[in-house]
Amino acid sequence: MTMGWQEQLRPGVALRGIVQQATEALIAMDAQRLEELALCCADLNRELEGARMSPETAADFRASAEDMELLNRILFETRANLAVFSRLHVMRLGEATRWPGTERDTTYGDN
């Protein structure tokens, strides 16, 4: 995983780094990066399972509550944006089928 120097740090801080990177990647709509980060998360989650939580780690987690809330909020806005563009796409599909002389095109990819 491309966690680099964060691996040497405490899990709470590392997770916080993931949240911030995921937030940036979501703004940039970098799907590949986000999928990498999701894998990182799953790995880290497995590592943390069953491990005793130190007060240090718990404090790190508390500190990242705001980052999580931000990610949550951006996810919300992203979904709304996604809905807008999906709707635009559907409108264009509708238009495409109304032109004279064009075949009805409802599929993509290889015809």
Partner 1 sequence: MRVDPFFVVNLSAPLDQTQTTQQQLTDELSSGLRVTSIGQDPVAAAENVQLLNQIQRDDSFTQTTSLTQGLLQVTDSALGSVVTQLNQAVGLATEANNGTLNASDLKSISNQIAGIRDEVLSLANTSYQGQFVFGGSQTGSTPFTLDNTTTPATVTYNGDADVNTLMSPNGQSIQLNVPGNQIFTSSTADVLGTLNNLIADYATGTAGGGVADTASLTSALNFVSQQRVGIDNSINRLNTASGVAKSESIQLTAVQTSLMQADIPAVSTQLALAQSQQSALISVISALGSGSLFDKL
Partner 2 sequence: MGTINSALSLITGALDADQNALNVVSNNVANASNTAYTREVPNWTENQPISINGMAYGTGVTVTGGVSQRDRVLEQRLQQQTQASASSTALLTALTTLQSSFTPASGTSTSGDIGTDITNFFNSHTQLESDPTSNPLRQQILSSANTLAGDISSRAASLAAQQSSLDQSANTVIAQVNAISASLAQVNVAIQSQSPNQDAGPLEDQRQADLTQLAQLIGVNQIATEQNGLSVTTTGGQLLVSEGQLFQITTGAVNGVTHFFVGGTDVTSALASGGGQIGGLLTARDQSIPATLASLDQLAYGIATQVNTVNNAGTDLVGDNGNAGNIFNAPTQVAGSAQSMQVVLTDPNKIAAAGLGLGAGDGGNAVSAASLAAQAVINGQTPSNFYSNLVSTLGATVSETTIQGTALSASLSQLQSQRDSLSAVSLNEEAASLQEFQRSYQAASQVFTILNSVYASALNLGVETAVA
Interface residues with partner 2 (CB under 8 A)? 15, 18-19, 22-23, 25-31, 34-35, 37-38, 41-42, 44-45, 48, 53-55, 57-59, 61, 64-66, 68-82, 84-89, 91-96, 99, 101-102, 105, 108, 111
Phi and psi at residue 91, to the nearest 5°: -60, -45
The encoded tokens of residue 34 equal 């986000």
Closest CA to 70 of 9, 30, 6, 21: 21
29 vs 20: CA distance, rounded Å: 14
51 makes contact, choosing from partner 2, partner 1, none, with CB < 5 to 8 Å by partner type, with none
With CB under 8 A as the contact rule, the residue among 63, 83, 88, 90 that binds partner 1 is 63
Q: CB of residue 101 vs partner 1: minimum separation in angstroms? A: 28
101 CB neighbour count, 10 Å cutoff: 4
90 vs 12: CA distance, rounded Å: 43
Residue with smaller CB distance to partner 1, 4 or 109: 4
Amino acid sitting at position 88: L
102 makes contact, choosing from partner 1, partner 2, none, with CB < 5 to 8 Å by partner type, with partner 2
